[in-house]
A and B are shown apart, each in its own frame.
Chain A
Amino acid sequence: MAALIRGVALGLWAVVLLQSSVDGRLDLLLRAAFHPLVSSAGGVLLMLAVVQVLVGVRQWGQGADPASRQERRLSMATALIAALLIALPANPSFADLASQRPADDTGNDTLSFVLPPAQRSLTDWVRMLRSQPDPQLFEGDPVRISGFVLPMAEGPPQLARLLVRCCLADATPVGLPVRWPAGEPLPRADQWLAIEGRMAIQNKQLEVVPERNQPIPRPARPLEP
Protein backbone atom coordinates (compact mmCIF):
# COMPACT_ATOMS: atom_id res chain seq x y z
CA MET A 1 0.00 0.00 0.00
CA ALA A 2 2.79 2.44 0.94
CA ALA A 3 4.65 1.83 -2.32
CA LEU A 4 1.38 2.36 -4.17
CA ILE A 5 0.77 5.73 -2.48
CA ARG A 6 4.41 6.66 -3.10
CA GLY A 7 4.01 5.73 -6.76
CA VAL A 8 0.87 7.85 -7.07
CA ALA A 9 2.61 10.82 -5.41
CA LEU A 10 5.61 10.51 -7.74
CA GLY A 11 3.24 10.13 -10.68
CA LEU A 12 1.46 13.36 -9.77
CA TRP A 13 4.78 15.21 -9.54
CA ALA A 14 5.70 13.77 -12.94
CA VAL A 15 2.39 15.11 -14.28
CA VAL A 16 3.18 18.54 -12.79
CA LEU A 17 6.49 18.71 -14.64
CA LEU A 18 5.32 17.14 -17.91
CA GLN A 19 2.06 19.08 -18.04
CA SER A 20 3.94 22.33 -17.39
CA SER A 21 6.16 21.50 -20.34
CA VAL A 22 3.28 21.06 -22.77
CA ASP A 23 0.59 23.50 -21.61
CA GLY A 24 2.76 26.62 -21.82
CA ARG A 25 3.13 27.08 -18.09
CA LEU A 26 6.91 26.89 -18.32
CA ASP A 27 6.92 29.68 -20.92
CA LEU A 28 5.27 31.85 -18.31
CA LEU A 29 7.57 30.89 -15.44
CA LEU A 30 11.01 29.85 -16.63
CA ARG A 31 13.60 30.80 -19.19
CA ALA A 32 13.53 28.47 -22.20
CA ALA A 33 17.01 27.06 -21.45
CA PHE A 34 15.56 25.22 -18.43
CA HIS A 35 12.57 23.67 -20.18
CA PRO A 36 14.34 20.47 -21.35
CA LEU A 37 15.64 19.93 -17.81
CA VAL A 38 12.12 20.13 -16.38
CA SER A 39 10.69 17.79 -19.04
CA SER A 40 13.48 15.26 -18.49
CA ALA A 41 12.94 15.35 -14.74
CA GLY A 42 9.23 14.71 -15.39
CA GLY A 43 10.13 11.67 -17.51
CA VAL A 44 12.43 10.24 -14.84
CA LEU A 45 9.79 10.77 -12.14
CA LEU A 46 7.21 9.03 -14.32
CA MET A 47 9.48 5.98 -14.65
CA LEU A 48 10.07 5.95 -10.89
CA ALA A 49 6.31 6.21 -10.32
CA VAL A 50 5.57 3.25 -12.60
CA VAL A 51 8.15 1.09 -10.81
CA GLN A 52 6.77 2.05 -7.39
CA VAL A 53 3.20 1.31 -8.45
CA LEU A 54 4.22 -2.11 -9.83
CA VAL A 55 6.11 -2.90 -6.62
CA GLY A 56 3.12 -1.69 -4.61
CA VAL A 57 0.71 -3.94 -6.49
CA ARG A 58 2.99 -6.96 -5.98
CA GLN A 59 3.51 -6.19 -2.27
CA TRP A 60 -0.22 -5.80 -1.77
CA GLY A 61 -0.71 -9.34 -3.03
CA GLN A 62 1.99 -10.63 -0.67
CA GLY A 63 0.80 -8.60 2.28
CA ALA A 64 4.29 -7.06 2.74
CA ASP A 65 4.12 -3.42 3.77
CA PRO A 66 7.23 -2.17 5.54
CA ALA A 67 6.36 1.55 5.54
CA SER A 68 5.42 3.55 8.59
CA ARG A 69 2.29 5.65 8.99
CA GLN A 70 4.49 8.77 8.87
CA GLU A 71 5.83 7.75 5.47
CA ARG A 72 2.33 7.27 4.11
CA ARG A 73 1.33 10.70 5.41
CA LEU A 74 4.39 12.22 3.75
CA SER A 75 3.50 10.66 0.41
CA MET A 76 -0.10 11.81 0.71
CA ALA A 77 0.92 15.37 1.63
CA THR A 78 3.23 15.66 -1.36
CA ALA A 79 0.56 14.12 -3.61
CA LEU A 80 -1.90 16.75 -2.39
CA ILE A 81 0.52 19.60 -3.17
CA ALA A 82 1.20 18.18 -6.62
CA ALA A 83 -2.55 17.93 -7.26
CA LEU A 84 -2.94 21.59 -6.25
CA LEU A 85 -0.21 22.58 -8.68
CA ILE A 86 -1.96 20.67 -11.45
CA ALA A 87 -5.35 22.19 -10.64
CA LEU A 88 -4.25 25.81 -10.13
CA PRO A 89 -2.13 27.12 -12.99
CA ALA A 90 -0.06 30.26 -12.56
CA ASN A 91 -1.63 33.52 -13.65
CA PRO A 92 0.67 36.31 -12.47
CA SER A 93 0.06 40.01 -12.90
CA PHE A 94 3.17 41.27 -14.67
CA ALA A 95 2.41 44.83 -13.68
CA ASP A 96 2.11 43.85 -10.02
CA LEU A 97 5.36 41.89 -10.18
CA ALA A 98 7.17 44.73 -11.94
CA SER A 99 5.96 47.23 -9.35
CA GLN A 100 8.03 45.35 -6.75
CA ARG A 101 11.21 45.39 -8.83
CA PRO A 102 13.63 48.08 -9.93
CA ALA A 103 13.93 48.53 -13.70
CA ASP A 104 16.54 46.37 -15.37
CA ASP A 105 19.87 48.17 -15.43
CA THR A 106 22.05 45.80 -17.39
CA GLY A 107 24.54 48.38 -18.55
CA ASN A 108 26.60 46.15 -20.82
CA ASP A 109 23.68 44.54 -22.64
CA THR A 110 24.27 45.82 -26.13
CA LEU A 111 22.95 44.57 -29.43
CA SER A 112 25.36 42.46 -31.41
CA PHE A 113 23.60 43.48 -34.61
CA VAL A 114 20.99 46.06 -35.40
CA LEU A 115 17.56 45.23 -36.81
CA PRO A 116 15.59 47.68 -38.97
CA PRO A 117 13.45 49.91 -36.69
CA ALA A 118 10.10 48.32 -37.54
CA GLN A 119 11.42 44.85 -36.67
CA ARG A 120 12.80 45.77 -33.24
CA SER A 121 11.02 44.37 -30.21
CA LEU A 122 10.46 46.51 -27.14
CA THR A 123 13.54 44.95 -25.52
CA ASP A 124 15.61 45.59 -28.65
CA TRP A 125 14.58 49.26 -28.47
CA VAL A 126 15.53 49.56 -24.81
CA ARG A 127 18.93 47.98 -25.44
CA MET A 128 19.45 50.10 -28.53
CA LEU A 129 18.72 53.27 -26.57
CA ARG A 130 21.19 52.17 -23.91
CA SER A 131 23.99 51.63 -26.38
CA GLN A 132 23.10 54.78 -28.43
CA PRO A 133 21.59 57.19 -25.92
CA ASP A 134 21.27 60.14 -28.35
CA PRO A 135 17.49 60.44 -28.99
CA GLN A 136 18.02 62.52 -32.17
CA LEU A 137 19.28 59.36 -33.91
CA PHE A 138 15.88 57.68 -33.65
CA GLU A 139 13.36 60.50 -34.03
CA GLY A 140 10.71 59.59 -36.59
CA ASP A 141 11.69 55.90 -36.77
CA PRO A 142 8.76 53.52 -37.21
CA VAL A 143 7.90 51.40 -34.16
CA ARG A 144 6.02 48.09 -33.99
CA ILE A 145 6.15 46.65 -30.47
CA SER A 146 4.05 44.76 -27.95
CA GLY A 147 4.09 44.62 -24.17
CA PHE A 148 2.02 45.03 -21.04
CA VAL A 149 0.91 48.31 -19.50
CA LEU A 150 3.06 49.17 -16.50
CA PRO A 151 1.81 52.02 -14.27
CA MET A 152 4.62 54.33 -13.16
CA ALA A 153 4.95 56.10 -9.81
CA GLU A 154 5.55 59.35 -11.69
CA GLY A 155 4.08 60.02 -15.09
CA PRO A 156 1.86 58.04 -17.42
CA PRO A 157 2.12 54.26 -17.78
CA GLN A 158 4.81 52.72 -19.96
CA LEU A 159 4.68 49.75 -22.27
CA ALA A 160 6.92 47.11 -20.68
CA ARG A 161 8.32 43.62 -20.87
CA LEU A 162 9.86 41.38 -18.21
CA LEU A 163 13.45 40.20 -18.64
CA VAL A 164 14.18 36.84 -17.07
CA ARG A 165 17.53 35.16 -16.59
CA CYS A 166 16.30 32.10 -14.73
CA CYS A 167 12.70 32.17 -13.50
CA LEU A 168 9.98 34.63 -12.63
CA ALA A 169 11.71 35.23 -9.28
CA ASP A 170 14.44 37.24 -10.97
CA ALA A 171 12.26 39.04 -13.52
CA THR A 172 13.02 42.73 -13.98
CA PRO A 173 11.00 45.16 -16.10
CA VAL A 174 12.16 47.23 -19.06
CA GLY A 175 9.80 49.83 -20.47
CA LEU A 176 9.37 52.56 -23.07
CA PRO A 177 7.47 55.81 -22.45
CA VAL A 178 4.34 56.14 -24.57
CA ARG A 179 2.46 59.33 -25.50
CA TRP A 180 -1.06 58.01 -24.92
CA PRO A 181 -3.79 59.59 -27.08
CA ALA A 182 -5.10 62.78 -25.45
CA GLY A 183 -8.73 62.72 -24.36
CA GLU A 184 -8.87 58.93 -24.10
CA PRO A 185 -8.72 56.99 -20.83
CA LEU A 186 -5.33 55.52 -19.99
CA PRO A 187 -5.10 51.76 -20.57
CA ARG A 188 -5.50 49.60 -17.48
CA ALA A 189 -2.50 48.02 -15.77
CA ASP A 190 -1.41 44.61 -17.08
CA GLN A 191 -3.31 45.01 -20.37
CA TRP A 192 -1.26 43.66 -23.28
CA LEU A 193 -1.08 45.99 -26.26
CA ALA A 194 0.37 45.90 -29.76
CA ILE A 195 1.44 49.39 -30.77
CA GLU A 196 2.40 50.73 -34.18
CA GLY A 197 3.65 54.27 -34.38
CA ARG A 198 6.73 56.48 -34.50
CA MET A 199 9.47 57.62 -32.17
CA ALA A 200 9.28 61.24 -31.07
CA ILE A 201 11.26 63.42 -28.66
CA GLN A 202 9.59 64.94 -25.60
CA ASN A 203 11.64 66.73 -22.94
CA LYS A 204 14.86 65.41 -24.54
CA GLN A 205 13.58 61.86 -24.14
CA LEU A 206 12.35 59.43 -26.73
CA GLU A 207 8.80 58.23 -26.50
CA VAL A 208 6.50 56.16 -28.65
CA VAL A 209 3.68 58.00 -30.39
CA PRO A 210 1.07 55.36 -31.24
CA GLU A 211 -0.76 55.47 -34.55
CA ARG A 212 -2.47 52.12 -33.94
CA ASN A 213 -2.99 50.73 -30.50
CA GLN A 214 -4.61 47.32 -30.23
CA PRO A 215 -5.32 45.17 -27.13
CA ILE A 216 -3.92 41.65 -27.55
CA PRO A 217 -3.97 38.52 -25.35
CA ARG A 218 -0.85 37.73 -23.34
CA PRO A 219 1.63 36.10 -25.77
CA ALA A 220 2.44 32.43 -25.37
CA ARG A 221 6.04 33.37 -24.52
CA PRO A 222 5.74 36.62 -22.62
CA LEU A 223 9.19 36.60 -20.99
CA GLU A 224 12.29 37.93 -22.74
CA PRO A 225 15.87 36.74 -22.14
Chain B
Amino acid sequence: MTSAVLTRLNTAWALFQGLLLEALPFLLIGVLIASLARWFSPGGAWLRRLPDHPVAGPLTGAALGFALPACECGNVPVARRLLVGGAPVGTALGFLFAAPVLNPIVIASTWAAFPDQPWLLLARPAGAVLVALGLALLLRLLPEATLLRTDLLEERRLNQPLASVSLLERRTGVIGLPEDAPPNLPSQLPSSWQEVLRHGSREFLNLALLLVAGCAVAALVQATLPRQWLLAVGGAPTLSIVALMALSLVLSVCSSVDAFLALGFAAQVTPGALLAFLLLGPVIDIKLVGLLSLLFRGKGLLLTAAGSGVLVLLIGQWVNLWRL
Protein backbone atom coordinates (compact mmCIF):
# COMPACT_ATOMS: atom_id res chain seq x y z
CA MET B 1 0.00 0.00 0.00
CA THR B 2 2.74 2.43 1.04
CA SER B 3 4.80 1.43 -1.95
CA ALA B 4 1.82 2.10 -4.27
CA VAL B 5 1.37 5.56 -2.74
CA LEU B 6 5.08 6.30 -3.13
CA THR B 7 4.98 5.14 -6.74
CA ARG B 8 2.00 7.40 -7.42
CA LEU B 9 3.75 10.34 -5.72
CA ASN B 10 6.85 9.73 -7.84
CA THR B 11 4.69 9.77 -10.94
CA ALA B 12 2.96 12.99 -9.83
CA TRP B 13 6.36 14.60 -9.14
CA ALA B 14 7.53 13.67 -12.65
CA LEU B 15 4.30 14.98 -14.22
CA PHE B 16 4.75 18.22 -12.28
CA GLN B 17 8.30 18.62 -13.57
CA GLY B 18 7.22 17.83 -17.14
CA LEU B 19 4.47 20.45 -17.08
CA LEU B 20 6.69 23.04 -15.43
CA LEU B 21 9.72 22.58 -17.67
CA GLU B 22 7.54 22.79 -20.74
CA ALA B 23 5.76 25.96 -19.61
CA LEU B 24 8.66 27.92 -18.08
CA PRO B 25 10.32 28.91 -21.39
CA PHE B 26 7.01 30.26 -22.70
CA LEU B 27 6.50 32.19 -19.48
CA LEU B 28 9.97 33.68 -19.85
CA ILE B 29 9.26 34.69 -23.46
CA GLY B 30 6.11 36.47 -22.30
CA VAL B 31 7.96 38.27 -19.51
CA LEU B 32 10.73 39.33 -21.90
CA ILE B 33 8.22 40.73 -24.40
CA ALA B 34 6.39 42.58 -21.61
CA SER B 35 9.72 43.95 -20.35
CA LEU B 36 10.72 45.11 -23.83
CA ALA B 37 7.36 46.85 -24.17
CA ARG B 38 8.03 48.54 -20.84
CA TRP B 39 11.48 49.65 -21.99
CA PHE B 40 10.46 51.02 -25.37
CA SER B 41 7.20 52.56 -24.25
CA PRO B 42 7.27 53.00 -20.46
CA GLY B 43 4.25 55.28 -20.33
CA GLY B 44 2.30 53.14 -22.78
CA ALA B 45 0.98 56.13 -24.71
CA TRP B 46 0.24 54.04 -27.79
CA LEU B 47 -1.70 51.53 -25.70
CA ARG B 48 -4.23 54.19 -24.78
CA ARG B 49 -4.93 54.78 -28.48
CA LEU B 50 -6.14 51.21 -29.00
CA PRO B 51 -9.89 51.02 -29.71
CA ASP B 52 -12.27 50.91 -26.77
CA HIS B 53 -15.23 49.74 -28.85
CA PRO B 54 -16.95 46.67 -27.34
CA VAL B 55 -16.40 44.66 -30.53
CA ALA B 56 -13.48 46.36 -32.30
CA GLY B 57 -11.45 46.40 -29.06
CA PRO B 58 -11.36 42.63 -28.44
CA LEU B 59 -10.89 41.98 -32.17
CA THR B 60 -7.86 44.30 -32.20
CA GLY B 61 -6.50 42.56 -29.11
CA ALA B 62 -7.03 39.17 -30.72
CA ALA B 63 -5.17 40.30 -33.83
CA LEU B 64 -2.19 41.30 -31.67
CA GLY B 65 -1.68 37.57 -31.10
CA PHE B 66 0.01 37.30 -34.49
CA ALA B 67 2.84 39.40 -33.06
CA LEU B 68 3.37 37.06 -30.09
CA PRO B 69 3.95 33.43 -30.93
CA ALA B 70 3.61 32.17 -27.35
CA CYS B 71 1.10 30.11 -25.47
CA GLU B 72 -1.28 31.23 -22.76
CA CYS B 73 1.40 31.30 -20.03
CA GLY B 74 3.43 33.84 -21.99
CA ASN B 75 0.34 35.89 -22.75
CA VAL B 76 -0.49 36.65 -19.12
CA PRO B 77 2.49 38.99 -18.46
CA VAL B 78 1.91 40.73 -21.79
CA ALA B 79 -1.80 41.18 -21.09
CA ARG B 80 -0.86 42.54 -17.67
CA ARG B 81 1.49 45.00 -19.34
CA LEU B 82 -1.32 46.08 -21.69
CA LEU B 83 -3.67 46.67 -18.74
CA VAL B 84 -1.05 48.47 -16.67
CA GLY B 85 -0.16 50.66 -19.65
CA GLY B 86 -3.74 51.90 -19.83
CA ALA B 87 -4.99 49.86 -22.80
CA PRO B 88 -8.77 49.51 -22.97
CA VAL B 89 -9.88 46.49 -20.93
CA GLY B 90 -11.72 44.94 -23.89
CA THR B 91 -8.59 45.05 -26.07
CA ALA B 92 -6.40 43.52 -23.37
CA LEU B 93 -8.97 40.78 -22.74
CA GLY B 94 -9.29 40.07 -26.46
CA PHE B 95 -5.55 39.59 -26.53
CA LEU B 96 -5.47 37.50 -23.36
CA PHE B 97 -8.16 35.06 -24.46
CA ALA B 98 -7.72 34.83 -28.25
CA ALA B 99 -4.00 35.32 -28.80
CA PRO B 100 -3.02 31.86 -27.45
CA VAL B 101 -4.85 30.42 -30.47
CA LEU B 102 -4.51 33.24 -33.00
CA ASN B 103 -0.80 33.00 -33.41
CA PRO B 104 1.23 31.43 -36.21
CA ILE B 105 2.72 28.59 -34.16
CA VAL B 106 -0.62 27.37 -32.83
CA ILE B 107 -2.32 27.60 -36.22
CA ALA B 108 0.59 25.73 -37.82
CA SER B 109 0.56 23.01 -35.14
CA THR B 110 -3.22 22.58 -35.56
CA TRP B 111 -2.75 22.19 -39.29
CA ALA B 112 0.16 19.76 -38.79
CA ALA B 113 -1.90 17.62 -36.40
CA PHE B 114 -5.11 17.62 -38.44
CA PRO B 115 -4.18 18.07 -42.12
CA ASP B 116 -7.21 16.01 -43.15
CA GLN B 117 -9.70 18.15 -41.21
CA PRO B 118 -9.67 21.62 -42.82
CA TRP B 119 -12.86 22.60 -40.97
CA LEU B 120 -10.90 22.48 -37.71
CA LEU B 121 -8.26 24.82 -39.06
CA LEU B 122 -10.98 27.42 -39.63
CA ALA B 123 -13.18 26.57 -36.67
CA ARG B 124 -10.44 26.83 -34.04
CA PRO B 125 -9.37 30.45 -34.71
CA ALA B 126 -12.97 31.48 -35.39
CA GLY B 127 -14.11 29.83 -32.15
CA ALA B 128 -11.28 31.46 -30.20
CA VAL B 129 -12.31 34.89 -31.50
CA LEU B 130 -15.94 34.19 -30.57
CA VAL B 131 -15.00 33.08 -27.06
CA ALA B 132 -12.70 36.09 -26.58
CA LEU B 133 -15.37 38.45 -27.83
CA GLY B 134 -18.03 36.88 -25.62
CA LEU B 135 -15.80 36.94 -22.54
CA ALA B 136 -14.70 40.52 -23.17
CA LEU B 137 -18.34 41.60 -23.45
CA LEU B 138 -19.24 39.65 -20.33
CA LEU B 139 -16.36 40.97 -18.23
CA ARG B 140 -17.11 44.55 -19.31
CA LEU B 141 -20.23 44.23 -17.18
CA LEU B 142 -18.02 44.34 -14.10
CA PRO B 143 -16.53 47.66 -13.04
CA GLU B 144 -12.74 47.73 -13.37
CA ALA B 145 -12.40 47.93 -9.60
CA THR B 146 -14.32 44.64 -9.24
CA LEU B 147 -12.66 42.93 -12.18
CA LEU B 148 -8.98 43.79 -11.80
CA ARG B 149 -6.59 43.20 -8.92
CA THR B 150 -6.04 46.21 -6.73
CA ASP B 151 -2.29 46.53 -7.32
CA LEU B 152 -2.74 46.22 -11.08
CA LEU B 153 -5.56 48.76 -11.01
CA GLU B 154 -3.53 51.29 -9.05
CA GLU B 155 -0.70 51.06 -11.53
CA ARG B 156 -3.18 51.26 -14.40
CA ARG B 157 -4.80 54.40 -13.02
CA LEU B 158 -1.46 56.19 -13.21
CA ASN B 159 -1.29 55.54 -16.93
CA GLN B 160 -4.86 56.47 -17.74
CA PRO B 161 -5.66 60.02 -18.89
CA LEU B 162 -7.01 62.23 -16.14
CA ALA B 163 -10.11 62.79 -18.22
CA SER B 164 -11.11 59.16 -17.88
CA VAL B 165 -10.20 58.60 -14.23
CA SER B 166 -11.43 60.63 -11.34
CA LEU B 167 -8.87 61.99 -8.89
CA LEU B 168 -10.34 59.85 -6.15
CA GLU B 169 -9.58 56.74 -8.17
CA ARG B 170 -5.88 57.65 -8.32
CA ARG B 171 -4.68 56.52 -4.95
CA THR B 172 -1.02 57.12 -5.69
CA GLY B 173 1.05 59.53 -7.77
CA VAL B 174 1.14 63.28 -7.97
CA ILE B 175 -1.94 65.30 -8.79
CA GLY B 176 -1.91 68.50 -10.78
CA LEU B 177 1.08 67.93 -13.04
CA PRO B 178 1.04 67.53 -16.83
CA GLU B 179 -0.03 64.01 -17.76
CA ASP B 180 3.00 63.39 -19.96
CA ALA B 181 5.66 64.06 -17.38
CA PRO B 182 4.65 62.96 -13.91
CA PRO B 183 7.70 62.74 -11.70
CA ASN B 184 8.73 59.66 -9.72
CA LEU B 185 5.88 57.44 -10.75
CA PRO B 186 7.07 53.88 -10.57
CA SER B 187 5.31 52.72 -13.71
CA GLN B 188 6.49 55.54 -15.98
CA LEU B 189 9.98 56.32 -14.85
CA PRO B 190 11.82 53.13 -15.56
CA SER B 191 13.30 53.26 -18.98
CA SER B 192 16.74 52.46 -17.62
CA TRP B 193 17.67 48.89 -18.54
CA GLN B 194 18.50 48.09 -14.92
CA GLU B 195 15.03 49.00 -13.76
CA VAL B 196 13.45 47.07 -16.62
CA LEU B 197 15.53 44.00 -15.75
CA ARG B 198 14.67 44.32 -12.07
CA HIS B 199 10.99 44.54 -12.89
CA GLY B 200 11.18 41.67 -15.40
CA SER B 201 13.06 39.42 -12.95
CA ARG B 202 10.57 40.13 -10.19
CA GLU B 203 7.67 39.48 -12.52
CA PHE B 204 9.18 36.19 -13.70
CA LEU B 205 9.65 34.94 -10.14
CA ASN B 206 6.17 36.04 -9.18
CA LEU B 207 4.58 34.27 -12.14
CA ALA B 208 6.82 31.21 -11.73
CA LEU B 209 5.50 30.76 -8.20
CA LEU B 210 1.91 30.80 -9.46
CA LEU B 211 2.83 28.48 -12.30
CA VAL B 212 4.38 26.05 -9.82
CA ALA B 213 1.14 26.00 -7.82
CA GLY B 214 -0.94 25.39 -10.96
CA CYS B 215 1.35 22.63 -12.24
CA ALA B 216 1.36 20.93 -8.83
CA VAL B 217 -2.44 20.75 -8.70
CA ALA B 218 -2.67 19.64 -12.35
CA ALA B 219 -0.07 16.91 -11.78
CA LEU B 220 -1.82 15.61 -8.65
CA VAL B 221 -5.18 15.48 -10.42
CA GLN B 222 -3.63 13.75 -13.44
CA ALA B 223 -1.89 11.19 -11.29
CA THR B 224 -5.06 10.27 -9.41
CA LEU B 225 -7.88 10.64 -11.96
CA PRO B 226 -7.97 7.82 -14.54
CA ARG B 227 -8.25 9.42 -17.97
CA GLN B 228 -10.47 6.57 -19.15
CA TRP B 229 -13.26 8.00 -17.01
CA LEU B 230 -13.25 11.21 -19.00
CA LEU B 231 -13.02 9.52 -22.37
CA ALA B 232 -15.64 6.90 -21.59
CA VAL B 233 -18.45 9.14 -22.84
CA GLY B 234 -16.67 10.07 -26.07
CA GLY B 235 -19.59 9.19 -28.35
CA ALA B 236 -22.37 11.08 -26.54
CA PRO B 237 -22.87 14.52 -28.16
CA THR B 238 -23.19 16.67 -25.04
CA LEU B 239 -21.39 14.54 -22.47
CA SER B 240 -18.37 14.17 -24.76
CA ILE B 241 -18.04 17.96 -24.93
CA VAL B 242 -18.26 18.30 -21.15
CA ALA B 243 -15.76 15.46 -20.67
CA LEU B 244 -13.23 16.93 -23.09
CA MET B 245 -13.64 20.35 -21.48
CA ALA B 246 -12.84 18.75 -18.13
CA LEU B 247 -9.87 16.98 -19.70
CA SER B 248 -8.47 20.24 -21.06
CA LEU B 249 -8.79 21.80 -17.59
CA VAL B 250 -6.93 18.90 -16.03
CA LEU B 251 -4.22 18.38 -18.64
CA SER B 252 -3.11 22.03 -18.64
CA VAL B 253 -0.78 21.72 -21.63
CA CYS B 254 0.15 24.76 -23.71
CA SER B 255 -1.88 25.78 -26.73
CA SER B 256 1.13 25.38 -28.99
CA VAL B 257 1.07 21.61 -28.53
CA ASP B 258 -2.48 20.71 -27.51
CA ALA B 259 -3.50 19.86 -31.09
CA PHE B 260 -0.96 17.01 -31.17
CA LEU B 261 -2.31 15.83 -27.88
CA ALA B 262 -5.89 15.96 -29.17
CA LEU B 263 -4.82 13.81 -32.10
CA GLY B 264 -4.41 10.93 -29.67
CA PHE B 265 -8.11 10.73 -28.88
CA ALA B 266 -9.67 12.52 -31.88
CA ALA B 267 -11.04 9.26 -33.22
CA GLN B 268 -12.87 8.47 -29.96
CA VAL B 269 -14.78 11.72 -29.51
CA THR B 270 -17.32 13.88 -31.34
CA PRO B 271 -16.09 16.81 -33.50
CA GLY B 272 -17.69 19.31 -31.12
CA ALA B 273 -15.84 17.78 -28.18
CA LEU B 274 -12.56 17.93 -30.08
CA LEU B 275 -13.06 21.62 -30.83
CA ALA B 276 -14.15 22.29 -27.24
CA PHE B 277 -10.88 20.76 -26.01
CA LEU B 278 -8.89 22.99 -28.36
CA LEU B 279 -10.83 26.13 -27.39
CA LEU B 280 -11.12 25.92 -23.62
CA GLY B 281 -7.54 24.99 -22.67
CA PRO B 282 -6.00 28.20 -24.05
CA VAL B 283 -8.49 30.31 -22.06
CA ILE B 284 -8.47 28.56 -18.71
CA ASP B 285 -7.08 25.44 -17.06
CA ILE B 286 -5.83 24.41 -13.64
CA LYS B 287 -2.30 25.60 -14.35
CA LEU B 288 -3.54 29.00 -15.56
CA VAL B 289 -5.78 29.84 -12.61
CA GLY B 290 -2.83 30.99 -10.52
CA LEU B 291 -1.46 33.12 -13.34
CA LEU B 292 -4.85 34.69 -14.08
CA SER B 293 -5.22 35.59 -10.42
CA LEU B 294 -2.44 38.08 -11.06
CA LEU B 295 -4.87 39.99 -13.30
CA PHE B 296 -8.35 39.35 -11.95
CA ARG B 297 -10.05 39.46 -8.60
CA GLY B 298 -12.24 36.55 -7.51
CA LYS B 299 -15.38 37.65 -9.37
CA GLY B 300 -13.48 38.24 -12.58
CA LEU B 301 -11.85 34.84 -12.32
CA LEU B 302 -15.17 33.12 -11.62
CA LEU B 303 -16.91 34.89 -14.47
CA THR B 304 -14.05 33.97 -16.82
CA ALA B 305 -14.28 30.31 -15.86
CA ALA B 306 -18.08 30.14 -16.05
CA GLY B 307 -18.38 32.29 -19.18
CA SER B 308 -15.71 30.39 -21.12
CA GLY B 309 -17.30 27.08 -20.08
CA VAL B 310 -20.76 28.09 -21.33
CA LEU B 311 -19.46 29.64 -24.56
CA VAL B 312 -17.28 26.65 -25.43
CA LEU B 313 -20.11 24.24 -24.62
CA LEU B 314 -22.45 26.16 -26.95
CA ILE B 315 -19.88 26.22 -29.75
CA GLY B 316 -19.22 22.50 -29.29
CA GLN B 317 -22.95 21.72 -29.42
CA TRP B 318 -23.37 23.76 -32.56
CA VAL B 319 -20.45 21.99 -34.23
CA ASN B 320 -21.93 18.61 -33.30
CA LEU B 321 -25.24 19.62 -34.86
CA TRP B 322 -23.37 20.67 -37.98
CA ARG B 323 -20.88 17.81 -38.28
CA LEU B 324 -22.72 14.77 -36.89
What residues of chain A have their CB less than 8 Å away from a CB belonging to chain B? 3, 6-7, 9-10, 13, 16-17, 20, 25-26, 28-30, 34, 37-38, 40-41, 44-45, 48, 51-52, 55, 71, 74-75, 77-78, 81, 85, 88, 90-93, 96-97, 99-102, 104-108, 163, 165-170, 172
Contacts and interface: CB of A to CB of B under 8 A. Distances in A.
Given A25-B21, A100-B226, A106-B264, 12 more contacts: A10-B204, A20-B21, A25-B17, A78-B212, A101-B228, A102-B265, A166-B254, A167-B21, A169-B19, A169-B252, A170-B257, A170-B260
B206 A96 contact: no
Contact of A91 (B14, B225, B257): B14
A169 B11 contact: no
B60 interface: no
Nearest to A21: B21
Contacts of A90: 10, 13-14, 17-18
B261 interface: yes
Interface string B1-30: 000000110110111011111101100110
Contacts of A77: 209
Contacts of B218: 169
B37 interface: no
Chain A binding surface SS class: helix
B200 A48 contact: yes
Nearest to A82: B208
A165 B197 contact: no
B109 to A, nearest CB: 10
Nearest to A75: B205
B10 A91 contact: yes
Contact of A96 (B8, B17, B28, B209): B8
A40 to B, nearest CB: 7
A38 B10 contact: no
B299 to A, nearest CB: 24
A29 to B, nearest CB: 4
Contacts of B7: 93, 96
Contacts of B251: 169-170
B80 to A, nearest CB: 16
Interface residues of B, number: 53
B301 interface: no
Contact of B22 (A30, A40, A105): A30
B17 A100 contact: no
Contacts of B205: 6, 9-10, 74-75, 78
Nearest to A26: B21
Contacts of A9: 205
10 contacts: A17-B24, A38-B24, A40-B25, A48-B197, A78-B208, A78-B212, A90-B13, A165-B260, A165-B264, A172-B264
A92 B15 contact: yes
B56 interface: no
